[in-house]
Amino acid sequence: MTLQLHDLALRGFASDNYAGVHPEILDAIAAANEGHQIAYGEDVYTARLHEVFEQHFGEGVQVFPVFNGTGANVVGLQSMLPRWGAVICAKTAHINTDEAGAPERVGGIKLLTVETPDGKLTPDLIDREAWGWGDEHRAQPLVVSITQTTELGTAYTVEEVKAIADHVHARGMKLHMDGARIANAAASLGVPLRAFTTDAGVDVLSFGGTKNGMLYGEAIVALNPEASDGLIYLRKLNMQLASKMRFISAQLIAMLTDDLWLRSASHANAMASRLRSALEAGIADGSIRGVGFSQQTQSNGVFATLPTGVADRLREHFRFYDWDAANNEVRWMCSFDTTEHDIDAFVAALIEELAA
């Protein structure tokens, strides 16, 4: 019996998590479904997954599929730190703002946050918290975590990541990357995944798939296995070990095969660019008034400011989130299945509400 409860015509710009599952991912799950496979990662799909990740990130990397991004971040960071260690991150980082205290409460990790104008850390900003080694009264700053793309939709360049990695390593620290939207970053930069990860000096990566069309599942990737310890135990300890792991692995294999990851992310980025361009054109010709932009559009998100009241009226037609309600700042996210019609309809609705 097929049970369909939602309106298929409903569209929104709140999150790329709102989108469904890419048809090629559904096909991969179905193909992995027949027959029996050994549980807890001893299946042929997970074995193949390691080969696929080596193709994209280099020989010797270690891959640990997990259920979700919070689990990937918490477990990955735990593997990089002793109990007395701390993590430096941007104040806007997902591990600080949107994981309900999981790094602190579940991971036992002290976060040392830094204000940034665009969500991106720099060596100078890192040094605001990179001090106090040997001081028994201070949690020891031993890992830096950067987000690619950031929570503000900006992307680190290859050179920026390398500069951070060199700076961090020179101080005896390690570098973690939260790559929930790593595919969008690579699509925006026009470079292979390994260019701003393995080759740039990132030690441990949280590789995101859910926001790019997977049903569920992410992966912890130890790009530098010497910088990580105990992942095989920490994954189970933190309730992130999937018994039927083949279904996460099959999705990740499909994502990294035939450039599905790049096709999906490139489309989402292009839709965000189309949205921004349409708004900029309207501002230029005077048909759109009172709209501004608070961040660069470098991936699949547009951050904008609206006149008071417009966001609430517009949300009656398209769901999206306030980012900073006090400043009338909103966030509009595009996904792999956002269409040009979605963008055009949204812009038309915005113009109507602005006129009202």
Mind listing the domains of the chain with CATH numbers? 22-258 (3.40.640.10), 261-355 (3.90.1150.10)
Give the closest residue to 118 by CA, choosing from 295, 242, 267, 256. 295
The single residue listed with the structure tokens 């900029």 is: 280
Residues 172 and 33: their CA atoms lie apart, in Å, by 45
Specify the pLDDT at position 247.
Answer: 98
Specify the pLDDT at position 289.
Answer: 94
Residues contacting 281, CB < 8 A, separation 6+: none
pTM to 2 decimal places: 0.96
Asked if the model's pLDDT at residue 84 lies above 80, the reply is yes
Strand 174-179 to 62-66 pairing: unpaired
User: In the chain, pLDDT over 70 holds for what percent of residues?
Assistant: 100
Neighbours of 219 (CB within 10 A): 23
142's enclosing H/E stretch is strand 140-147
Mean residue pLDDT of the chain comes to 97
How would residue 1 be classed by pLDDT, with cut points 50, 70 and 90?
low
Diameter over CA atoms, the chain: 63
Residues 244 and 63: their CA atoms lie apart, in Å, by 16
Q: What is the mean pLDDT of residues 325-340?
A: 97
Residues 138 and 123: their CA atoms lie apart, in Å, by 21
Residues 147 and 205: their CA atoms lie apart, in Å, by 10
Give the closest residue to 92 by CA, choosing from 213, 188, 178, 193. 178
Could you report the per-residue pLDDT of 175-218, keeping only the tens digit for each? 999 999 999 999 999 999 999 999 999 999 999 999 999 999 99
